[in-house]
């Protein structure tokens, strides 16, 4: 097996979040999510729909950061209004960022501090409330720390499992936080009370590294596996086709 | 009917305290020549409704705004709008922060003259706790599901910017995304459209297919020819975003002196033509 970078391990972990998605719109927000989604499409999840980042579904997306490539094969039209229609229909899986995330997967991208007069205004709610109540959502955190993984988020933009449960079974039936991928590991909510669980650590990361950088108590299984390593074929795709300019390595070092 | 008008006449209709909807999305195809005319006016105390970009940032920085209704405010290539951040962080404006889809639904409810439209978006999130005026509604059918009753967002005035239009008020978008510009017009009492280029009605189809004619003249009260009117936001295929200018604008949020210089050089001018000349001369 070839040597690989942390960014490449993250790309594979992100691609794995889309395994089994089939013929739905995948919306990766950020560089490594875009890389991971392309990797999934070019390998085990060929049916997913990806946009060019504007309003076209492009069947043959290639490198990130380079537009749609020399000969785009546009298969459909996806302006924002159609994105909303698609997400309300449930045929979508989004991977968003999170300025803060808590142990039940509540996410904040709105502001830090009080909402009336925030210490730091961020993006705003964007589509997070509607995404999380309508279809599978995953999160990507390139800078795992206890400033991001917090006991309580300042504002709930994307709703977590405790908020969803409080709505009752009918209202929350489309809610699913699939996974959280950070630069240190992969996390899921496959626990009895849907608390965040450490699913795997990336190569070179210890469980203590993760615990020490997380501001709430994670569910830690007796044995924590290592995140699946990229195959030689995946490394070839990542380095020569998907990310030849190394955008992934700018987001996650090591 | 010839609906041609000017930025000045449109802003003369706008009164302090009104609710103004602005089309476009982030730093994309924003009716900036109208925004700039508003900056030159003494109108204030506005409620803005927008998929926000520099329209919101500039008007906040100039003290024109009491309240903003938004899902996000962003410059796209610069994710956080710095002047909007200053306004929020100093508490100078009231914020009604919604999910992006709820904003669409509020405009669509107003467009349809309905009091509200039901949606799942917002349930369980702090959109509801931060906006106690938002209520839930129970489905009257057997499912009895509880949903958000997104209230109509009624606008006193709406501004949009199109690539082409005719003098009668038909508008044409030629870029990749129309955004929600029709809904802003349909939700408003008075509707004004600026455009890159005014063309004869019979020439519209030479510019783009019939599918690009998304604004019809029932949706507009006035049309303004404003070449470069979306500057510095993008207006494809006519022009890309002016990234260096946007960077210059963004940097002024951190430094009052830079903002004053930016204001006097570009915004404290008598006309849109003078603005365009100042931009070209830099």
Closest-CA distance of chain A to residue B97, Å: 7
Query: Rounded CA gap, A221 and A197, in Å?
Result: 8
Dump pLDDT digits (tens) for B56-93. Answer: 999 999 999 999 999 999 999 999 999 999 999 999 99
Query: Rounded CA gap, B108 and B113, in Å?
Result: 9
Q: Which residue has the tokens 């089309």?
A: B23
- Residue A67: pLDDT band (50, 70, 90) is low
User: CB distance B178–A79 less than 8 Å?
Assistant: yes
Dump pLDDT digits (tens) for B36-51. Answer: 999 999 999 999 999 9
**ipTM rounded to 2 decimals:** 0.96
Record the tokens describing residue A26, joined without a space: 């995948």
Query: Rounded CA gap, A234 and A239, in Å?
Result: 9
Helix residue spans in chain B (DSSP H): 7-13, 32-39, 54-61, 82-89, 100-111, 126-130, 181-186, 204-207, 243-251, 256-262, 272-280
Q: Cβ of B220 under 8 Å from any chain A Cβ?
A: no
User: Per-residue pLDDT averaged across A162-185, rounded?
Assistant: 98
**Choosing among B53, B92, B126, B241, which should be mutated to test the A contact, i.e. which has the most A CBs within 10 A?**
B126
Nearest CA in chain B to A169: B145
Tell me, what CATH number does A223's domain have?
A: 3.40.1080.10
Closest by CA to A162, choosing from A127, A125, A194, is A194
- Residue A245: pLDDT band (50, 70, 90) is very high
- Residue A238: phi, psi to the nearest 5? -60, -45
Whether residue A210 is contained in a domain is answered as yes
Q: Cβ of B84 under 8 Å from any chain A Cβ?
A: yes
Nearest CA in chain A to B126: A156
The beta-carbon neighbor of B70 closest among A119, A124, A159 is: A124
User: CB distance B121–A130 less than 8 Å?
Assistant: yes
Roughly how many angstroms between the first and final C-alpha of chain A, as a whole number?
18
Dump pLDDT digits (tens) for A126-142. Answer: 999 999 999 999 999 99
Residue A251's H or E segment, with its range, is helix A247-251
Which B residues 8-37 touch A at CB under 8 Å? Answer: 25
Whether residue A1 is contained in a domain is answered as no
Whether residue A254 is contained in a domain is answered as no
The beta-carbon neighbor of A133 closest among B120, B126, B180 is: B120
- Total count of domains within chain A: 1
pTM confidence score: 0.97
Burial class (CB in 10 A: 0-12, 13-18, 19+), B142: exposed
Closest-CA distance of chain A to residue B70, Å: 8
Give SS3 for B109. Answer: helix
Q: Which residues contact B238 (CB under 8 A, 6 or more apart)?
A: B163, B174, B196, B197
**Structural domain boundaries enclosing A32:** 6-249
Q: Cβ of B45 under 8 Å from any chain A Cβ?
A: no
Report chain B residues whose CB lies below 8 A from the CB of A110: 97, 126
Which B residues 52-81 touch A at CB under 8 Å? Answer: 52, 70-74, 79-80
The beta-carbon neighbor of B85 closest among A115, A121, A156 is: A121
Q: Which pLDDT belongs to residue A2?
A: 83
Domains and CATH numbers, chain B: 7-101+153-201+219-273 (3.40.1080.10), 115-151 (no CATH)
Contact A237, A39 (CB under 8 A): yes
DSSP string computed for B149-198: EEE---EEEEEEEEEEE-TTS-EE--SS--TTHHHHHHTEEEEEEEEEEE
Is A63 a residue whose pLDDT tops 90?
A: no
Residues shown for chain A: 254
Instruction: Kindly report the number of other CB atoms within 10 A of residue B208's CB atom.
Output: 16
């Amino acid at each position: 097996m070839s040597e690989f970078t942390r960014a490449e391990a993250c790309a594979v972990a992100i691609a794995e979040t889309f395994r089994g998605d089939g013929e739905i719109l995948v919306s990766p927000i950020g560089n490594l999510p875009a890389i991971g989604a392309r990797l999934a499409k070019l390998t085990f999840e060929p049916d997913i729909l990806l946009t060019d980042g504007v309003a076209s579904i492009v069947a043959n997306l290639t490198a990130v950061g380079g537009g749609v490539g020399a000969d785009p094969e546009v298969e459909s039209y996806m302006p924002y209004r159609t994105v909303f229609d698609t997400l309300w229909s449930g045929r979508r899986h989004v991977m968003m960022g999170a300025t803060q995330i808590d142990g039940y997967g509540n996410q904040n991208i709105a502001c830090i501090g009080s909402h009336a007069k925030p210490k730091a205004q961020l993006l705003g709610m964007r589509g997070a409330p509607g995404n999380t109540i309508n279809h599978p959502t995953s999160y990507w955190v390139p800078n795992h720390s206890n400033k991001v993984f917090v006991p309580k988020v300042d504002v709930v933009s994307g709703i977590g499992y405790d908020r969803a449960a409080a709505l009752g079974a009918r209202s929350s039936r489309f809610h699913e936080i699939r996974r959280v991928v950070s630069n240190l590991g992969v996390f899921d909510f496959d626990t009895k009370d849907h608390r965040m669980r450490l699913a795997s650590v990336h190569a070179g990361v210890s469980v203590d590294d993760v615990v020490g950088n997380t501001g709430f108590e994670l569910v830690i299984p007796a044995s924590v596996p290592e995140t699946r390593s990229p195959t030689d074929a995946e490394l070839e795709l990542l380095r020569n086709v998907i990310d030849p300019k190394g955008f992934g390595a700018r987001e996650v070092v090591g | 009917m010839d609906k041609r008008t000017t930025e000045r006449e449109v802003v003369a209709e706008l009164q302090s305290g009104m609710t103004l909807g602005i089309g476009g999305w982030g730093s994309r195809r924003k009716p900036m020549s109208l925004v700039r005319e508003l900056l030159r006016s003494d109108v204030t105390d506005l409620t803005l409704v927008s998929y926000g970009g520099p329209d919101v940032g500039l008007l906040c920085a100039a003290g024109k705004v009491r309240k903003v209704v938004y899902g996000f405010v962003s410059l796209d290539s610069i994710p956080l709008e710095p002047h909007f951040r200053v306004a929020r962080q100093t508490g100078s404006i009231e914020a009604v922060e919604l999910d992006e889809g709820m904003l669409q639904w509020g405009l669509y409810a107003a467009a349809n003259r309905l009091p509200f439209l039901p949606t799942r978006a917002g349930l369980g999130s702090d959109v509801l706790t931060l906006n106690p005026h938002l209520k839930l509604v129970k489905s009257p059918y057997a499912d009895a599901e509880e949903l958000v009753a997104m209230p109509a967002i009624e606008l006193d005035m709406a501004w949009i910017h199109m690539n082409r239009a005719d003098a009668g008020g038909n508008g044409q978008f030629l870029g990749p995304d129309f955004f929600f510009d029709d809904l802003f017009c349909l939700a408003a009492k008075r509707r004004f459209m600026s455009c890159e280029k005014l063309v004869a009605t019979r020439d519209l189809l030479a510019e783009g297919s019939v599918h690009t004619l998304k604004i019809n003249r029932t949706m507009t009260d006035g049309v303004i020819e404003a070449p470069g009117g979306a500057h510095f936001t993008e207006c494809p295929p006519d022009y890309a975003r002016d990234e260096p200018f946007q960077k210059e604008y963004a940097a002024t949020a951190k430094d009052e002196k830079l903002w004053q210089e930016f204001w006097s050089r570009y915004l404290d001018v008598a006309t849109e033509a003078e603005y365009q000349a100042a931009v070209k001369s830099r």
